[in-house]
Amino acid sequence: MISICPRFKESLSSCNAPWSVSPASIALFRLGLAFVVVADLILRSSDILMLYSDEGLLPRGVLLSADNGFSIYHCSGSVVGAGILMLMAAVVALCFGAGVWAPWSGVVSFLMLVSLHNRNPMVLNSGDSLLVSLHFFSLFLPSGNLFKKQLPVCRELHHYTAVLGVVVQMSAMYFFSAFWKFGEGWLDSGQAIFYAIHQDTIAWGGAAYLKLVPVGLLQIVTFSILIFEYFFALAVWLPWRKGHLRVVLIILAVIFHLVLLQATFRLGIFSWVAACGWLIFLPASVLGKDFFNESPSTTGGVSLGRSICAALCSFCLYLLMFLSVFGMGQRVFAAKQGVGIESVGEVADLALLDWLGLNQDWILFAPDAPIEDDSFQLILTYHDGRHVDYLSGQEVYADSLENVPRMNALSYPSARWRRFLSSLAQQLEGSPVPQAVAGSFIRRSQGDEVSVAAVSLFAVRESRPGAEPDYRQIWVHNAHTISVW
213 & 337 share domain: yes
| 206 has pLDDT over 70 | yes
229 & 326 share domain: yes
Which one is predicted more confidently, 242 or 209? 209
Q: Categorize the per-residue pLDDT at 131 as very low, low, confident or very high, splitting at 50, 70 and 90.
A: very high
Which one is predicted more confidently, 332 or 30? 30
326 & 466 share domain: no
Cβ neighbours of residue 309 under 8 Å, at least 6 residues apart?
none
Boundary (domain end) residue, out of 312, 329, 364? 364
Cβ neighbours of residue 129 under 8 Å, at least 6 residues apart?
357, 360, 361, 364
CA distance 22 to 443: 56
Boundary (domain end) residue, out of 335, 364, 393? 364
**Measured at the alpha carbon of residue 382, what is the angle toward residues 377 and 387, in degrees to the nearest 5?**
40
| Residue 1, in any domain of the structure | no
412 & 344 share domain: no
16 & 48 share domain: yes
Query: Which candidate, 168, 140, 108, places its Cα nearest to that of 30?
Result: 140
3-class DSSP state for residue 149?
coil
341 & 390 share domain: no
Cβ neighbours of residue 193 under 8 Å, at least 6 residues apart?
210, 218, 219, 221, 222, 225
| Residue 483, in any domain of the structure | no
Q: Categorize the per-residue pLDDT at 96 as very low, low, confident or very high, splitting at 50, 70 and 90.
A: very high
Average pLDDT, the chain: 76
| Residue 230, in any domain of the structure | yes
Residue 415 buriedness (CB in 10 A; 0-12 / 13-18 / 19+): buried
| 417 has pLDDT over 60 | yes
Per-residue pLDDT tens for 246-256?
Answer: 888 889 999 99
293 & 402 share domain: no
Q: Categorize the per-residue pLDDT at 33 as very low, low, confident or very high, splitting at 50, 70 and 90.
A: very high
Q: What is the pLDDT of residue 38?
A: 96
| Residue 335, in any domain of the structure | yes
Report the relative pairing of strands 373-382 and 470-478 from DSSP bridges: unpaired
300 & 343 share domain: yes
CA distance 68 to 48: 19
Boundary (domain end) residue, out of 333, 364, 395? 364
Q: What's the mean pLDDT in 231-252?
A: 81
Number of domains into which the chain is organized: 2
pTM of the model as a whole = 0.84
Q: What is the pLDDT of residue 278?
A: 92
| Residue 352, in any domain of the structure | yes
Q: What is the pLDDT of residue 394?
A: 81
Q: Categorize the per-residue pLDDT at 272 as very low, low, confident or very high, splitting at 50, 70 and 90.
A: very high
| Residue 221, in any domain of the structure | yes
Q: Categorize the per-residue pLDDT at 148 as very low, low, confident or very high, splitting at 50, 70 and 90.
A: low
- Which residue type, as a one-letter code, is found at position 446? Q
Per-residue pLDDT tens for 279-288?
Answer: 888 876 666 5
- Other CB atoms within 10 Å distance of the CB of residue 355: 13
Q: What is the pLDDT of residue 110?
A: 92
Report the relative pairing of strands 387-389 and 373-382 from DSSP bridges: antiparallel
| 23 has pLDDT over 50 | yes
Q: What is the pLDDT of residue 351?
A: 63
3-class DSSP state for residue 259?
helix
Beta bridge partners of 377: 458
Q: What is the pLDDT of residue 342?
A: 43
219 & 342 share domain: yes
Q: What's the mean pLDDT in 2-7?
A: 44
| Residue 485, in any domain of the structure | no
Q: Considering the chain, what percentage of its residues have pLDDT values greater than 90?
A: 14
297 & 420 share domain: no
468 & 342 share domain: no
Q: What's the mean pLDDT in 143-152?
A: 67
User: What is the domain range of residue 403?
Assistant: 373-478
| 267 has pLDDT over 90 | no
Q: What is the pLDDT of residue 311?
A: 64
| Residue 484, in any domain of the structure | no
CA distance 472 to 403: 12
- Other CB atoms within 10 Å distance of the CB of residue 296: 18
Cβ neighbours of residue 429 under 8 Å, at least 6 residues apart?
none
CA distance 261 to 271: 7
Q: What is the pLDDT of residue 347?
A: 46
Per-residue pLDDT tens for 37-74?
Answer: 999 999 999 999 989 998 888 888 887 766 677 889 98
Question: Phi-psi category of 357—alpha, beta or left, where left has phi over 0 and alpha has psi -120 to 50?
Answer: left
Question: Residues 42, 416: contact at Cβ < 8 Å?
Answer: no
Q: What is the pLDDT of residue 11?
A: 45
302 & 436 share domain: no
Which one is predicted more confidently, 296 or 360? 360
Q: Categorize the per-residue pLDDT at 290 as very low, low, confident or very high, splitting at 50, 70 and 90.
A: very low
